[in-house]
Amino acid sequence: MKKGLTTMAERNNNFNLLRLTFAFLVILAHGPELLDGDRHRELLTRVFGTASFGDVAVDGFFLLSGFLIVKSWERKPELKDYFEKRIRRIYPGFIVAILLSAFFFAPLGVANVRTYFSEINYLGLLLTTLTLHLPNLPSMFVGRPYALINGALWSIAYEFYCYAIVALLGLLGATRQRWIWLALAVVGLAGLPWLNLVNNSSFAGHHSVANFMRLITFFAVGACFCLFKKNIPLKTNWAAVAALALVPLLYFPMLEALARATLGAYAVFCFAFTPIANLRVFQRMSDISYGIYLYGWPIQKVLDWYFPGAPLWGLVAATLVLACGFGLASWKLIESPMLRRAQVARHVAGDLAKGQA
């Protein structure tokens, strides 16, 4: 391998570190916004006046997901197995997070716990959970910005929509799906500057066509990095140039998302597949990023409720620590066991099939 050149076929990658970084950035972005109700103290927005670290992180998650989910389909393009994996990866952690949000975190932020439980629409809660949407719960954290128990969950349903699109296009065949994903990426990239003009940055406006088009664009770009990996040379010096070129473009509202989806994506994937000895420890770590994302918001809401005068960055630091704990518990007790059971079930089914043969 030439010096400075890497390949997307390597197992030695930094995906776990990237996911962990994106999860941390979500909490870093939500910290000031959940206290203030706006982004005037959000660090990245203060510098560039455009995207927040939360925007960068969520788009980054979809970028990586596009690569990894399409790769999963390529490895085993079987509909039943594919959706079983996706459901086991998303639903168990999400369901437990909803239950804890509704029945543990939310009651900590209400005036009357008995009234709160009596006003819950349990059927509605079940339906929103099954469809991966935000729960519609009685009033809580009254008087504080974003009186939602877990507003960060808005993107999970869109993630599953992308999974369904992967399966749909995958059924068309390897050759067709490559060019359809490329077309989706190109059309999406062309539309990003205009979507940014109508995008509503408030959490109440997150469920919109504009947001879904932005997220599917980043997902499609990630899918193209997977499907055209043999045609995309990843060179560290090119990635450095891309990262430097990205910085000034972040000042322009119509260009920042497009720049992140192109220059930023190239830099991200180059970093993802560049072997760095000092970072190998992250490859062996549990993947707690999903749990951090699921629990960061309710943890901060409760901390803010009980310690309203706490310094902003002290609150963010405490949220990060506690979210890591919940994320680790989610991985060890819920996510990992469910994935292991799926693997065992597939091995048993395979052995039975061999025996019958």
Closest by CA position to 222, among listed 256, 172, 174, 188: 188
Q: Any idea which residue has 């690569």 for tokens?
A: 67
109 — pLDDT class (breaks 50, 70, 90): very high
Tokens in use for 256? Answer: 């920042």
pLDDT tens-digit series, residues 178-233: 999 999 999 999 999 988 666 544 454 455 788 899 999 999 999 999 999 999 99
| Number of separate domains in the chain | 1
* Backbone CA torsion sign across 20, 335, 78, 13: positive
Task: Identify the residue whose tokens are 């960055």.
Answer: 313
Pairs from 130-137 (Cβ < 8 Å, separation ≥ 24): 131/157, 132/90, 132/91, 132/94, 132/156, 132/157, 132/160, 133/157, 133/207, 135/98, 135/101, 135/102, 137/102, 137/106
Mean pLDDT throughout 334-354? 63
Q: Range with the lowest mean pLDDT among 170-184, 206-220, 266-280, 305-319?
A: 206-220
- Domain encompassing residue 123: 5-356
Give the tens place of pLDDT for each residue, 127-172: 999 999 988 999 999 999 988 899 999 999 999 999 999 999 999 9
Q: Helices 209-227 and 53-75, interaxial angle, to 10°? A: 50
Are the C-beta atoms of 327 and 289 separated by less than 8 Å? yes
For all residues of the chain together, what is the average pLDDT? 90
